[in-house]
Amino acid sequence: MQPEAVSASTTRGPEGSRARPGIPGWLATLVLLLPTYGWLFIAVLLPLCTMFVFSFMNATPMGKAPIVFTLRQYQVFSTQPYLLGIAWTSLLMGFWTTFACAVLGFFAALALARATIGRTRETLLILILLPFWTNGLVRIFSWTMVLREGGFLDDVLHWVWPGAGSIGFLYTRSAIVVGLVHGYLPYMILTCYIALVTIDDAIIEAAASLGARWWTILFRILIPMAAPGLISGAVLTFVPVLGSFMEPRILGGRVGVTMGTVIEDQFTQAFNWPLGAALSFTMLAVVLAIFATFSGVLRRGSGAVA
């Protein structure tokens, strides 16, 4: 490049450039954000507010009947004590599912983080996560094929021990838990894995050099350091399980009565929308309380969900 007369170049600025920047910045930001948040406002926030209002109604507003506001729906736990039992069942179900996912998932994540490398690990991760993103209904239906009387379990049993009875346990509470665990295990494995994979090898080596045996390393180092992943996975398992109704119905049959199915009933069978709304909001309150309690951990622990 010859050293040109420098003055000739300075006057030629880039084309399309003006001193004024054009659209004001705040307007551009608004245009970008409004469609999304407008949509969410209409599709999520307003409905939740509406349901909140409904929960104070006496009866589903149909036709010309006047709307009466009452707290009756929220008192339903005292007027219909059997609901307490159902609530308790739901909580237990949530607890057992979360616990099983935590134990199984943590060790799977541990195995992934420490016993596999590179390509194998990536492939395994994709394989493990793949079912999570497929249709939950289909997966639950698959379990009926295995757990029903005469299903896969029984077939295997009879192949080994012909003439035995049935071990199919479809339409029991355990079946529901098995189906739910199957559904949420991959997610728990992911969150635990992300937490475990950041633990430096050197930490474990340092512990070993100081005399720690494997159980010490497990309970005093690995689990505490993976706690954020465990907790965020647990919260994001427990909450959806609380609200599940499809799994209890399909896998539990008549035994599958949970808060979720009760709420669903109000909307599809009993047409008692105010009661459904009140129960929903009670559940929402519980959910929000759980999130609030663990908000610190959740923010740190749930890095890449995709």
Partner 1 sequence: MIGLARFYLAAILVFLYLPIVVMMAMGFNESSLYELPFHFSTKWYVALAGNDQLISAGINSIVIAVITAVVSTILGTMASVALARRTFKGKTLLQLMLLPPIAIPWLITGTAMLVFFFWTGIGRGMHALLIGHVALAIPYVVLVVGTGFQTIRADLEEAAMSLGSTPIHAFFSVTLPLLAPSILGAALFAFAVSLDQFVISYFLATPGFTTLPVQIYSAIRKGFTPEINAISTILLIGSMAAILVFAIFARPGGVSDKR
Partner 2 sequence: MTNVEVSSVAKTYGRTPVLADISTDFTEGSFTSLLGPSGSGKTTLLRIIAGFITPDSGKVAIGGQDVTETPVWARNIGMVFQSYALFPHMTVAENVAFGLARRGIRGAEARQQVDRALEMVRLPGFGDRKPKQLSGGQQQRVALARAMVIKPSVLLLDEPLSALDRRLRQEMQVELLRIQRETGLTTIFVTHDQEEALTLSDKVAILDRGRIVQIGAPAEVYERPKTRFAAQFLGDSNFLNGTIANGGVRLADGTLVRCHGPLSSTGNSATLAVRPEKMSILPAGTSPEAGLNALAARIETVIYAGPALTYVLVTPDGTSLKLFAQNRDGTVLASGTDVTLAWSPDHTIAVED
13 binds partner 2 (CB under 8 A): yes
Per CB under 8 A, does 303 bind partner 1? yes
Among 4, 161, 163, 209, binds partner 2 (CB under 8 A): 4
CB of 4 to partner 2, least distance (A): 7
- If one asks whether residue 115 binds partner 1 (CB under 8 A), the answer comes out as yes
Of 84 and 145, CB closest to partner 1 = 145
Q: Can you give the three-state secondary structure of the chain, one letter per residue?
A: CCCCCHHHHHCCCCCCCCCCCCCCHHHHHHHHHHHHHHHHHHHHHHHHHHHHHHCCECCCCCCCCCCCECCHHHHHHHHCCHHHHHHHHHHHHHHHHHHHHHHHHHHHHHHHHHHCCHHHHHHHHHHHHHHHHCCHHHHHHHHHHHHCCCCHHHHHHHHHCCCCCCCCCCCCHHHHHHHHHHHHHHHHHHHHHHHHHCCCHHHHHHHHHCCCCHHHHHHHHHHHHHHHHHHHHHHHHHHHHHCCCHHHHHHHHHHCCCHHHHHHHHHHCCCCHHHHHHHHHHHHHHHHHHHHHCHHHHHHHCCCCC
205 binds partner 1, rule: CB under 8 A: no
Residue 126 in the binding site for partner 1 (CB under 8 A):
yes
Residue 21 is a binding residue for partner 2 (CB under 8 A): yes
Min dist. Cβ of residue 11 to partner 1 (A): 14
Q: Which does 6 bind (CB under 5 to 8 A by kind): partner 1, partner 2, none?
A: partner 2
Nearer to partner 2 (CB atom), residue 19 or residue 43 = 19
First CA to last CA distance, the chain: 50
Asked if 27 is part of the footprint of partner 1 (rule: CB under 8 A), the reply reads: no
36, interface contact from partner 2, partner 1, none, CB < 5-8 Å by kind: partner 1
**Residue 146 binds which entry of partner 2, partner 1, none, with Cβ cut-offs from 5 to 8 Å by kind?**
partner 1
Size of the site for partner 2 (CB under 8 A): 16
Q: Give the shortest CB-25-to-partner 2 separation in angstroms.
A: 11
- Residue 252 CB, shortest distance to partner 1, in Å, is 13
Using rule CB under 8 A, residue 17 touches partner 2: yes
Binding site for partner 2 (CB under 8 A): 1, 3-4, 6-7, 9-10, 12-19, 21
